[in-house]
Amino acid sequence: MIGVMGAGAFGTALAVSLAAKGPVVLAARTEAQAEEIRRAGEVARLPGVTLPEAVQVGAGVAALAGCDIILLAVPTQKLRAMLMDAGGVFDAKTLVATCKGVEQGSQKSPSQVIAEVCPEAMVAVLTGPSFAADIARGLPTALTLACADRAAGKALQEALSVAHLRLYRSEDVTGAELGGALKNIIAIACGAAVGAGLGESARAALMTRGYAEMARMAEAMGARAETLAGLSGFGDLALTCTSEQSRNLRYGLALGRGEPFDSGVTVEGAASAPAVVARAEALGIEMPITRVVVGLVSGQLRVAGAMDMLLSRPLKEEKC
């Protein structure tokens, strides 16, 4: 059986989608949350999406004890604590990370955190250009399923694919995760530029040079260039930087406009940016846009000053 840990918008959307293939366990954080979902027949963050009968709503990791494949739809910064509290429930399971980001402090990706805390588990990553509402409503979506074990990856591809959700397999877990983490940071920069009234040309420039930063870090960390050019890299970057369904873009828009942003909304790019800068410094990589986003998020920079920093950099040949 397939289980989903995390009854937020994305976890619920995956559960709804996968219910077309059979029973799915959707685990909310607490029994109170689970009971509210059962009563309403839907999740508040996905209004209008009725849960199919095949979706069994439970509470906590204990609800997933009978599942062989578990999708982890929790924020990157909360992943380690959730895994450590799971006891032995996740031992020898197939764990699929759907979160995107870099853990603060350790500078580790979600798959690395899982492997560290649950060394007996088979680890995979599901990532790419997607919004929860699209998946839940059965709109065509394509994602990258990355697993270092080819045979396990093929089995997962079969298990998690449904008619409207097409999964492309990859063995480049590092590249797939980097694309998902770094594009969120670039989306914040794009949102800040547009929110400050700097125009669509500025957005295009930030997306393009942001992609160059993504490619530089990927190369330095041993990822494949074609992975960054695919769904989990370029595809996700294009979607996240251009649609206001993106929380990271909306957060950037608020920064650019000088408006408050809902603190209850998870913004993975804001949480990951400092860890990415620290990793880039250790690798000797230039990532000026990411560094500027750290300044914006911390309040040490305003958009005008951030753009001045980027535009005053030495002139150079266009290459990654």
Taking the C-alpha atoms of residue 24 and residue 18, their distance in angstroms, rounded to an integer, is 7
Assess contact for 5 and 71: CB atoms under 8 A. yes
Q: Give the three-class secondary structure for 296.
A: helix
Structure tokens at 182: 């770094």
Residue with structure tokens 């920069």?
189
CB 187 within 8 A of CB 239: no
- Is 183 designated active site? yes
The one catalytic residue among 100, 183, 316, 319: 183
User: Helices 268-283 and 247-257: crossing angle, nearest 10°?
Assistant: 90
CB distance 210 to 189 below 8 Å: yes
Q: Which two tokens stand for residue 296?
A: 């914006």
Rounded CA-CA distance 65/59 in Å is 11
Q: What residues are paired with 141 via a beta bridge?
A: 165
Query: Active-site residues: which are they?
Result: 183
